[in-house]
Structure 1
Amino acid sequence: MSDPLMLLKKPSYPINNSLLDYLERFDRISKVPIFYDDLLRFSGSINVYDKHDQDTLWVRVYYTEFERSEIDLTLMKIYSLLHSDGNLGIIKFLNVDSIDYCTFGNSKPFRIKVRNILNDNYTHFYIKRADASRVYGLELEHILSPDKINFLVYKDTLIEEHIMGIAGDVFIKTLLADCTETEKSQIAKEFVKFNERCMIRLLGDMRSYNYVIIPIHDFDQVVYRIRAIDFDQQCFEGNFKVYRPQFFKENYPMVKLVKDKLQHSSIEQYKDEERAVLAKRIHSAENRIKRLLQIMGSDVISTDEHLNQLKLELYSYTNDLNFKKAKSMGNVMSAAFEFITRNFKNTNLFNTGF
Structure 2
Amino acid sequence: MEEEKLMSKKKPAFPVTKKLHGYLREYNRTIKFPIFYDDLLRFSGSTVVYDRNDEDTLWIRVYYNEFDDQEIDLSLKRVYSILHSDGSDAILQFLNVDAIDYCTFGNSKPFRIKVRNVLNDNYTYFYVKKADASRIYGLELEHMLSPYNLNFLVYKDTLIEEHIAGIPGDVFMKELLPICSEMEKSQIAKEFVKFNERCMIRLLGDMRSYNYVIVPTHDFDHVVYKIRAIDFDQQCYEGKFKVYRPQFFKENIIMVNLVRDKLQRSSVDQYKVEERSIVAKRLISCHERMEELLDCARTDTISIPENVEQLKMEILQFVQDVEFKKARNMGEVLGAALDFVKRNYEDISTRRLFNGS
Counterpart code for 1:99: I
Distance 1:266 1:13 in 2: 40
Classify the secondary structure of the residue corresponding to 1:206. Answer: coil
- Which residue is 2:124 aligned to? 123
Which segments of structure 1 move beyond 3 Å, counting only runs of 4 or more? 344-347
Distance 1:323 1:77 in 2: 45
Classify the secondary structure of the residue corresponding to 1:61. Answer: strand
Distance 1:112 1:187 in 2: 31
Q: Percent identity?
A: 66
1:143-162 correspondence runs (5 A): 143-162=144-163
- Which residue is 1:26 aligned to? 27
TM-score (norm 2): 0.95
Instruction: Tell me if 1:3 matches 2:11.
Output: no
- Which residue is 1:272 aligned to? 273
Counterpart code for 2:242: K
Classify the secondary structure of the residue corresponding to 2:213. Answer: strand
Distance 1:189 1:87 in 2: 44
**Cα offset, 1:167, TM superposition:** 0.2
**Cα offset, 1:346, TM superposition:** 8.7
Counterpart code for 1:162: H
**Cα offset, 1:103, TM superposition:** 1.3
Instruction: Tell me if 1:295 matches 2:296.
Output: yes
Gapped runs of 5+ residues in structure 1? 348-354
| Preserved contact between residue 3 and residue 250 of structure 2 (Cα < 8 Å) | no
Range with bigger deviation, 310-319 or 193-202? 310-319
- The number of equivalent residue pairs is 347
Counterpart code for 2:118: I
**Cα offset, 1:33, TM superposition:** 3.0
**Cα offset, 1:337, TM superposition:** 1.1
Counterpart code for 2:259: V
Distance 1:346 1:26 in 2: 31
**Cα offset, 1:51, TM superposition:** 1.2
**Cα offset, 1:87, TM superposition:** 3.1
Q: State the Cα deviation string for residues 131-154 of structure 1 (Å, max 9, x = none).
A: 000000001111111001111111
Classify the secondary structure of the residue corresponding to 1:160. Answer: strand
Two-structure CA RMSD over aligned residues (Å): 1.3
Distance 1:337 1:149 in 2: 20
Classify the secondary structure of the residue corresponding to 2:259. Answer: helix
**Cα offset, 1:2, TM superposition:** 6.4
- Which residue is 1:230 aligned to? 231
Distance 1:17 1:317 in 2: 35
| Preserved contact between residue 200 and residue 336 of structure 1 (Cα < 8 Å) | yes
- Which residue is 1:309 aligned to? 310
Q: State the Cα deviation string for residues 113-163 of structure 1 (Å, max 9, x = none).
A: 000000000000000111000000001111111001111111111111010
Gapped runs of 5+ residues in structure 2? 349-357
Distance 1:31 1:88 in 2: 15
- Which residue is 1:164 aligned to? 165
- Which residue is 1:350 aligned to? none
Distance 1:36 1:194 in 2: 31
- Which residue is 2:73 aligned to? 72
Distance 2:90 2:4 in 1: 48
